[in-house]
Amino acid sequence: MGRHRRGKMQGIETVGDLIDALERFDPDLEIRFAVQPRMPMSYTVGPIAEFDEIVFIGEAKPDGYLPDDAAGRLGWR
């Protein structure tokens, strides 16, 4: 665990949690990975790999700043 982590993460913690969260969306929608709540950025999703019983979702390439409305829906604004 990173030294900057503050307590236990809430929300999506397993592959099943992620699948459940995505089921409500149209499967043909594009998907992006949002990072940095203070200066939100958007990335395309890259490779996905499993190591040591953890699934890692990698970034592919930057897609620019996250729109303010999207940051708000993530609870970042």
Q: Give dist(CA 55, CA 76) in Å, integer.
A: 25
Using H for helix, E for strand and C for coil, what is the string for 5-30? CCCCCCCCCCHHHHHHHHCCCCCCCC
The structure's pTM equals: 0.74
pLDDT the model gives residue 7: 46
Over residues 27-73, the pLDDT tens digits come to 999 999 999 999 999 999 999 999 999 999 999 999 999 999 999 99
Which residue type sits at 31?
A: I
Is residue 57 within 8 Å of 66, Cβ to Cβ?
Answer: no
